[in-house]
Structure 1
């Protein structure tokens, strides 16, 4: 595996899983790529209300495009350098646009060259995607992103699986809440 992508709604534990995987012997040589969304939000000095999908759908879509572009840059750099990496996120910006803004916004992002490049990378045999299912125990409001609730996160996850299936991207579901079991699922799925 050259790249491992941890996907899912906000507040499902991707960052925690990323940190745990980085401690595993199998991933010692892997670069750890943190979530980019919060950094972009901070860099652009946005408040949650600035990109509220209901109040400011254009700003929300633009944010997803910015995240998609930045993720693609990170993925491209690592690929060109031949650096294996663990990444917090993957197809997520496309799913955020689809879930919160609808099919037209999703199609606009999907038509972007960055999306095409990333989707090809996710389909590659050297990549592995994981979708982490939400659990009530993981939900917390970080004060930055969309306010989460379990029903919404479950529906988001359903849309993510649908999007991955439609784009012919293989993925593994992580159902477990226990971090040791989550790590084990990734280790088992990335055996060579």
Structure 2
């Protein structure tokens, strides 16, 4: 049973990343999924809520990101380390779908703390290793501007729509700078079924290409 390419669902806060990761998880667990049940791929591990777990474990709040640059920097370093640990552990056992990536805390650091902290994180062993994994995986960025933005009391809320769009643009810029290819899930693509279909179509195409390459190498 083969391992597929890792899938990363990344982007600004409140753009539906975890919802999409959950939908992908249900797809691969479905008894109708012939990829899994015919042995084409192994069952993926689902990585989600890493940032929230760090917030709870280390007693941070979302407001710490905007009220204290030192606290914000400390938090993003902790999130990077946590994402690194869980990705390495999961990679040993198969492939995964994650509702964020090791780049997310670096983008947050650049946006809310400054270039110096972000550059330090980008030179870390954790990021340099995870960057190569992302290059080999499939990366989807959820565009900001979707209408379901709401405050659940835990997540960091953008100040306004313009601020939200700036964060998305910074994310795309840093993906480009890192040499990581990605697919944009448009803010106009509102139906979960449509988003799921887009990701699966890209994934299936990638798996087909990988199979073709393996056959040519035989």
What's the TM-score, normalizing by structure 2?
0.81
RMSD: 1.6
Q: How does 1:58-69 map to 2 (within 5 A)?
A: 58-69=70-81
Q: Answer yes or no: is 1:133 the counterpart of 2:143.
A: yes
Match of 2:202 in 1: 189
Runs of 4 or more consecutive aligned structure 1 residues displaced over 3 Å after TM superposition:
none
Secondary structure of 2:147's counterpart equals helix
Q: Which stretch of the first structure deviates more once superposed, 102-111 or 12-21? A: 102-111
Structure 2: where are the runs of 5+ without partners? 28-32, 37-41, 208-218
Match of 2:104 in 1: 92
Q: Answer yes or no: is 1:143 the counterpart of 2:153.
A: yes
Q: Deviations over 1:20-53 (max 9, x none)?
A: 111213578111111211111111122333x233
Cα distance in structure 2, aligned partners of 1:19 and 1:167? 27
Structure with the greater alpha carbon radius of gyration? 2
Alpha carbons 1:135, 1:177 under 8 Å: kept: no
Match of 1:160 in 2: 171
Alpha carbons 1:129, 1:172 under 8 Å: kept: yes
Q: Deviations over 1:126-180 (max 9, x none)?
A: x111000123422111212322232222111100000000000011110112111
How many aligned residue pairs are there?
187
Secondary structure of 2:12's counterpart equals coil
